[in-house]
């Protein structure tokens, strides 16, 4: 069965970086992209970006552009999302999800990773 | 204008039918892009319940149905059950965002 398993919770200070992993299993990793979504406390879902796991190209929202790096390691079927220059408003649960096209539906999700940014 | 607008909350008694709206614009839903719906329970990952406007993934009860017309879309839940109490989000593509995707603000469904 399709599974996406994310790395554990992180606590970071403002200005630091965090790297969240998302290990996929149960399907051909290269055939589907990975979307990253986050939810800040008390807020709704925010689509952050998407990576084509086969070609390696990605796109992201303006709010995190220049601070986010999305990568994919096809040898281990793992996607990564690194967010730099962390701010308090980056505190959120970060989810990875499978998305073939980059604008389609997200049919399988990781369990979520809580990233807390606090001094 | 970009973005999708949802009512913050909807409530209904067990067994009733409720409808959640997702209002878009000519740059997203009105441009013909598909709308997808997710159910999100606290502490869990969101779950896809409607894909491509009106299609239910395997395992989703037929109490859930989706539709799209013009610049808006709707999710209906018939025969409301207590386990349907959750947040619901619509999602679509928006060409005004440079090829990016947007979620609605979410609707909290309360079962009275």
Nearest Cβ partner for B45 among A59, A102, A109: A109
| pLDDT value of residue A61 | 92
B/e letters for B69-95, b = 16+ CB within 10 Å, e = fewer, are eebbbbbebeebeeebebbbbbbbbbe
**What residues of chain B lie within 8 A of the CB of A109, using their CB?**
45-47
Strand partners, A81: A20, A70
Report the distance separating Cα B55 and Cα B79, nearest Å.
Answer: 19
Which of A50, A103, A108 should one mutate to test binding to chain B, selecting the residue with the greatest count of B CBs within 10 A? A103
The Cα of B25 is separated from the nearest Cα of chain A by a number of Å equal to 17
Short-list B55, B110, B62, B70, CA closest to B88: B110
Q: Does A112 touch chain B (CB under 8 A)?
A: yes
Q: Does A68 touch chain B (CB under 8 A)?
A: no
Q: Do the chains contact at B89 and A112, CB–CB below 8 Å?
A: no
**What residues of chain A lie within 8 A of the CB of B38, using their CB?**
45, 106
**Tens-digit pLDDT profile for chain B (112 aa)?**
558 999 999 999 999 999 999 999 999 999 999 999 999 998 899 999 999 999 999 999 999 999 999 999 999 999 999 999 999 999 999 988 777 899 999 999 999 9
HEC secondary structure over B45-66: CCEEEEECCCECCCCCCCCEEE
Q: Do the chains contact at B57 and A102, CB–CB below 8 Å?
A: no
């Amino acid at each position: 069965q399709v599974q996406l398993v994310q790395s554990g919770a992180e606590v970071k200070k403002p200005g630091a970086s965090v790297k969240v992993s998302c290990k996929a299993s149960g399907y051909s990793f290269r055939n589907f992209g990975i979307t990253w979504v986050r939810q800040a406390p008390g807020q709704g879902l925010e689509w952050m970006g998407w990576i084509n796991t086969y070609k390696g190209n990605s796109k992201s929202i303006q709010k995190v552009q220049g601070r986010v790096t999305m990568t994919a390691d096809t040898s281990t079927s793992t996607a990564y999302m690194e967010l730099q220059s962390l701010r308090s408003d980056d505190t959120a649960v970060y989810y990875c999800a499978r998305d073939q096209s980059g604008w389609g539906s997200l049919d399988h999700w990781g369990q979520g990773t809580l990233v807390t940014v606090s001094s | 204008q970009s973005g999708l607008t949802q009512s913050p909350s909807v409530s209904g008694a067990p067994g009733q039918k409720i409808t959640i709206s997702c209002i878009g614009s000519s740059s997203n839903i009105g441009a013909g892009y598909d709308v997808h719906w997710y159910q999100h329970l606290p502490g869990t990952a969101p779950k896809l319940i409607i894909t491509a406007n009106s299609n239910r993934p395997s395992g989703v009860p037929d109490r859930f149905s989706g539709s799209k017309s013009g610049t808006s879309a709707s999710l209906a839940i018939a025969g409301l059950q207590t386990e349907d109490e959750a947040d619901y989000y619509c999602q679509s593509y928006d060409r005004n965002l440079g090829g990016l995707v947007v979620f609605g603000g979410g609707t909290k469904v309360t079962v009275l």
